[in-house]
């Protein structure tokens, strides 16, 4: 959510930002909010003036009562009662207007950074860098499920019977590899000074609306029937939510956190759920990184966060590239975002394995997270990034470490988490 002062002082800047995101249907909201805000401030000013009058008259009543003029005192009391009734009406009007303003403000997209490329959709995202040599071996790379099945490491049919499409059983060495990658990611981030968390896996609706847009919520979140609880789509939701209605000191910043969680997603949309695969699924696990920092430090942290993911994948011998999201591909709360993509030798292309986002002060405004600064209170910036999200990451791992005989090499960094195993063999 943006600062309403932007609409008061520079509505054209807000409208221009909406145009850059190709959301022209939202342009009228700016004028609607401006009009509601004028009415809100007028009501508030009138109520404040009446409160002043009421206080002044109340003092006069005391003086007049001491003088013994009861009739005049009663007349003044009647005025106080009438003023009080008007104030109540104005307060009710203020509340209604504030609610309408907030509802519309929640739909206005965040102001994107000047460095964000302008484009309508993900086809206009911009490659920033390629790291590591994208090698295509002279032998065939099977589909990732076929590799897992050759290692006796996955069951899809039984999972489909139990839960439907979008679920899986991992087992044996593949299941151990999955857990090893997460454990390695945990220690990788701890070694970089991040505090490790395991957060709640369900959150209340006020946290959901604080951390994401309504469109994302509808397409992602599972609601717990009969309760004000949602299953998290990523641990970022819980981790940012833990600061709700908190006032931090500047000495407490930056907050650098890394969290593990299962993630649950509807995956509603054009892509759909894969019937045979683990790329787009309803349930997975993830190691995340989260930062809460001073506004002037957020872009520096943004670069550090996605560079952490690049470094992590390179220790596992997986070529990656970074891709900057264009304006039309940015979710409404984001100021800037870079995807990290891993190379698929089988498909001979890169695919997304993580996303790094700077959300400016949007989440902090929604959740009431503030900082006590030397010049007064302000909203901090929040950032998040994926360290790793298996089993999607397993696709890149298996394809890039597959040997011609069907065995899979275990990179040195991961061996301590695999009981010293140097390779996974066909079974």
pTM: 0.89
Based on the number of CB atoms within 10 Å of its own CB, is 223 exposed (0-12), middle (13-18) or buried (19 or more)?
middle
The mean pLDDT value of the chain amounts to 93
Residues 304-311: what's their mean pLDDT?
A: 96
Is pLDDT above 60 for 272?
A: no
pLDDT tens digits along 278-293? 888 899 999 999 999 9
| Structural tokens at position 334 | 């984001």
Residues 330-339: what's their mean pLDDT?
A: 95
Higher pLDDT: 61 or 401? It is 401
CA 113, 117, 120: angle at the middle one, nearest 5? Answer: 115
The model's confidence at residue 274, banded by pLDDT at 50, 70 and 90, is low
pLDDT tens digits along 387-419? 999 888 999 999 999 999 999 999 999 999 999
Domains of the chain: 4-105 (1.10.287.40), 122-424 (3.30.930.10)
Residues 68-88: what's their mean pLDDT?
A: 85
The model's confidence at residue 107, banded by pLDDT at 50, 70 and 90, is very high
The model's confidence at residue 153, banded by pLDDT at 50, 70 and 90, is very high
The model's confidence at residue 269, banded by pLDDT at 50, 70 and 90, is low
pLDDT tens digits along 194-212? 999 999 999 999 999 898 8
Residues 105-110: what's their mean pLDDT?
A: 94
Q: Cα(205)–Cα(209) distance, rounded to whole angstroms?
A: 6
343 in Cβ contact with 134 (< 8 Å): yes
At residue 116, the pLDDT reads 97
Q: Cα(339)–Cα(306) distance, rounded to whole angstroms?
A: 8
Q: Cα(427)–Cα(411) distance, rounded to whole angstroms?
A: 20
The model's confidence at residue 177, banded by pLDDT at 50, 70 and 90, is very high
The DSSP secondary-structure symbol of 5 reads H
Q: Which of 69-78, 141-150, 219-228, 331-340 has the lowest mean pLDDT?
A: 69-78
pLDDT tens digits along 201-258? 999 999 998 988 766 777 788 999 999 999 999 999 999 999 999 999 999 999 999 9
Based on the number of CB atoms within 10 Å of its own CB, is 267 exposed (0-12), middle (13-18) or buried (19 or more)?
middle
Is pLDDT above 80 for 364?
A: yes
């Amino acid at each position: 959510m943006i600062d309403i002062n932007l609409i008061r002082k520079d509505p054209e800047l807000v409208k221009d930002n909406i145009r850059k995101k190709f959301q022209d249907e939202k342009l009228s909201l700016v004028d609607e909010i401006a009009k509601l805000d004028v009415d809100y401030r007028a009501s508030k000013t009138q109520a404040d003036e009446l409160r002043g009058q009421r206080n002044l008259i109340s003092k006069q009543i005391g003086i007049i009562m001491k003088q013994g003029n009861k009739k005049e005192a009663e007349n003044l009391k009647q005025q106080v009662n009438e003023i009080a009734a008007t104030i109540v009406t104005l307060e009710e009007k203020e509340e209604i207007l504030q609610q309408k303003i907030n509802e519309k403000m929640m739909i206005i997209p965040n102001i994107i950074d000047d460095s964000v490329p302008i484009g309508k959709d993900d086809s206009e995202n911009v490659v920033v860098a390629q790291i590591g040599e994208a090698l295509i071996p002279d032998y065939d790379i099977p589909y990732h499920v076929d590799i897992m099945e050759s290692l006796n490491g996955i069951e899809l049919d039984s999972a489909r019977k139990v839960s439907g499409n979008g679920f899986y059983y991992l087992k044996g060495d593949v299941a151990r590899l999955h857990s090893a990658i997460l454990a390695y990611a945990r220690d990788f981030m701890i070694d970089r000074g991040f505090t490790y968390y395991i957060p709640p896996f369900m959150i209340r609706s006020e946290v959901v609306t604080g951390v994401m847009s309504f469109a994302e919520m509808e397409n992602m979140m599972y609601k717990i029937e009969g309760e004000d609880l949602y299953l998290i789509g990523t641990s970022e939701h819980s981790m940012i939510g833990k600061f709700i209605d908190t006032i931090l000191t500047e000495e407490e910043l930056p907050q650098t956190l890394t969290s593990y969680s299962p993630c649950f997603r509807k995956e509603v949309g054009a892509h759909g759920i894969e019937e045979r695969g683990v790329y787009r699924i309803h349930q997975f696990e993830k190691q995340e990184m989260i930062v809460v920092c001073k506004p002037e430090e957020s872009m520096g942290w943004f670069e550090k966060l996605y560079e952490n993911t690049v470094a992590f994948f390179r220790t596992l011998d997986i070529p990656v590239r970074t891709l900057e999201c264009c304006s039309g591909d940015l979710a409404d709360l984001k100021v800037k975002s870079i995807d990290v993509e891993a190379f698929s030798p089988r498909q001979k292309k890169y695919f997304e394995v993580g996303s790094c986002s700077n959300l400016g002060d949007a989440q902090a405004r929604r959740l009431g997270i503030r900082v006590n600064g030397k010049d007064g209170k302000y909203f901090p910036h929040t950032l998040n990034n994926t360290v790793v999200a298996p089993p999607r990451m397993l696709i890149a791992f298996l394809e890039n470490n597959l040997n011609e005989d069907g065995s899979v090499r275990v990179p040195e960094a991961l061996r301590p988490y695999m009981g010293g195993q140097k390779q996974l063999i066909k079974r």
